[in-house]
Structure 1
Amino acid sequence: MALRGIKKWLFLILQVTVCIYFFLNSTSAECNVCQENQVACINSTSFYLCFGDSNPNMDVLYHCKEGFECTEFNAICLQASATRAPSCGSTSLCGQCTAQANALFACLSRTTFQMCYGAVRPTGQVGYCPSGFVCDATSDAICVSTAGEYTVTCDVVDSSTETTTTTSTSTTQTTIATSTIPLTPNEVCAQQTRSGLYPTMPNDPFCKRYIHCRNMRGVEYSCAPNTYFSIESKACTIDQPAYCT
């Protein structure tokens, strides 16, 4: 009996030690920023590869399998754990009208939203927060300035990048900053080499919306009820991908 009690205490001590290890050895990583394991998590389950660069390569978006989360560890995707948060915030409230006290709107990402009008699911046109603002469901203002207090409701980083080009002369130095905002259907299709179905940019977290490209021009559509747009198969399917909200 005494031996069983000792084993129980040793097991509890081991659990506490593991928790402390993960706490001390994990960092609070930023979304869409290259980590030491050479990946940039864009939400709790999806990531880009970095290939030794300081900026992620956005040619291919990878997804952890169901029940796993994107982390800063070498294994990249680890089984979801209550004692270890993912590298890039929570996506559980993405697209949820109930996340907002008055069900006015739902945050689709850090900077995009849709109106709810008291319904369970958001509908209509996707809105975009201005630069320096994030979608915050704790406020009726929808977009809240990052200069003050705010809460990131849906920690999904839009597929946007910012580059800075510096031009020097003998007397002046000019810095030009350019940023890529969410793309229109025609802009999405301009990046493709053939006709077909492609995901919106940024990706729709509900996997409902997609772009139909034909002759370099695009139109946005939605999948039929109870079907989801699969990025891998580039079609609407009855199977919900693990990365869909």
Structure 2
Amino acid sequence: MAVVVVLGECGTCQTNDVACLNTTHYKFCGENVAPDQIAQCPTGQVCTSLAIVCIDEGLVEATCSDTPADGSCLSCDGSSMFVCTSRTTFQMCNGTSVTSQVTKCKDNKVCSIKSGKYCVDLCEAGDSIECNREAPLES
């Protein structure tokens, strides 16, 4: 199977009139759509600059990657009470260990402990997704 590489930049309007905000979320660039409207690709699809915005993962590269530079999530280091354990969950720290209780953000929100709000709108998080896991790691 050939993989099509789609080059783009996060948050930049593309020729298909959307701006991919991360691997799976995008916003519309048209002036007739409210700028805070965030759309999500169906499960298993990624945001692209192609005419069909969402394409099956693996067939094309996503226009915008939301993977942190080191590809990981922060862990409990004794300096924070909570850490993001996936894009949409966070857990309390007990020293350098994460507790078993997983707290989920509301729909269309991403984890943002650094913001002081726990969960924020994707557009507010911008390029600073704190954890790019689909789900927390099993303890």
| Normalised TM-score (structure 2) | 0.53
- Structure that is richer in helix per residue: 1
Residue 84 (structure 1) aligns with = 60
1:59-138 equivalences in 2 (<5 Å): 59-81=36-58, 84-91=60-67, 96-97=72-73, 106=74, 116-117=76-77, 123-124=80-81
- What letter is aligned with 1:45? T
Q: CA deviation at 1:205?
A: 2.8
- Secondary structure of the corresponding residue to residue 225 of structure 1: strand
Give the structure, 1 or 2, with the largest relative contact order (CA under 8 Å, sep 6 or more): 2
**Structure 2 CA distance for partners of 1:230 and 1:65, relative to 1, 3 Å:** farther
Identity %: 25
| Normalised TM-score (structure 1) | 0.33
Computing the radius of gyration from Cα coordinates, the structure with the larger value is: 1
Q: Provide the rounded CA distance (Å) in 1 between the counterparts of 2:76 and 2:105.
A: 22
Q: CA deviation at 1:48?
A: 0.7
Q: CA deviation at 1:38?
A: 0.8
1:4-23 equivalences in 2 (<5 Å): 15=1, 19=2, 22-23=4-5
Q: Provide the rounded CA distance (Å) in 2 between the counterparts of 1:78 and 1:123.
A: 38
- What letter is aligned with 1:116? C
Q: Provide the rounded CA distance (Å) in 1 between the counterparts of 2:101 and 2:76.
A: 18
Q: Provide the rounded CA distance (Å) in 2 between the counterparts of 1:77 and 1:117.
A: 37
Residue 41 (structure 1) aligns with = 20
Superposed CA RMSD in Å reads 4.0
1:32 aligns with 2:11: yes
Q: Provide the rounded CA distance (Å) in 2 between the counterparts of 1:69 and 1:32.
A: 15
| Contact 1:38 1:52 (8 Å CA) reproduced | no
Structure 1 runs, 4 residues or longer, greater than 4 Å off: 92-95
Gaps of 5+ in 2: 92-99, 109-132
1:174-213 equivalences in 2 (<5 Å): 205-208=87-90
**Structure 2 CA distance for partners of 1:42 and 1:36, relative to 1, 3 Å:** same
1:138-157 equivalences in 2 (<5 Å): none
Q: CA deviation at 1:63?
A: 1.0
Gaps of 5+ in 1: 1-14, 98-105, 107-114, 127-203, 210-223, 233-242
